Amino acid sequence: MWTDAIVEEIRKYRDEHASKFNYDINKIYKDLKEKEKINTNKKITLKPKIYLKSTGA
């Protein structure tokens, strides 16, 4: 079976992170929110694209 190296690496890091919190989703969430607060990278929100239906005229 074919495996994607990038996906495997992400799964490895995700599992390592989750194991630090005994796989408790609430603790994982809290940790990620704390990291989000101290992250200084600029965050952007894109507006959804609106597609107009063609009338055929």
Q: How far apart are CA 18 and CA 6, in angstroms?
A: 18
- pLDDT the model gives residue 57: 59
Could you read off the pLDDT of 1-55 as tens digits, one per residue?
Answer: 888 999 999 999 999 999 999 999 999 999 999 998 998 888 888 998 888 777 7
- pLDDT the model gives residue 56: 65
- pLDDT the model gives residue 40: 87
User: Please, what is the angle between helix 5-20 and helix 25-38, to 10°?
Assistant: 100
Q: How far apart are CA 11 and CA 28, in angstroms?
A: 15
- Cβ neighbors of 22 (< 8 A, separation 6 or more) are none
- pLDDT the model gives residue 1: 80
Residue 18 near residue 28, CB atoms below 8 Å: yes
For the chain, what are the domain ranges?
5-38
- pLDDT the model gives residue 54: 74
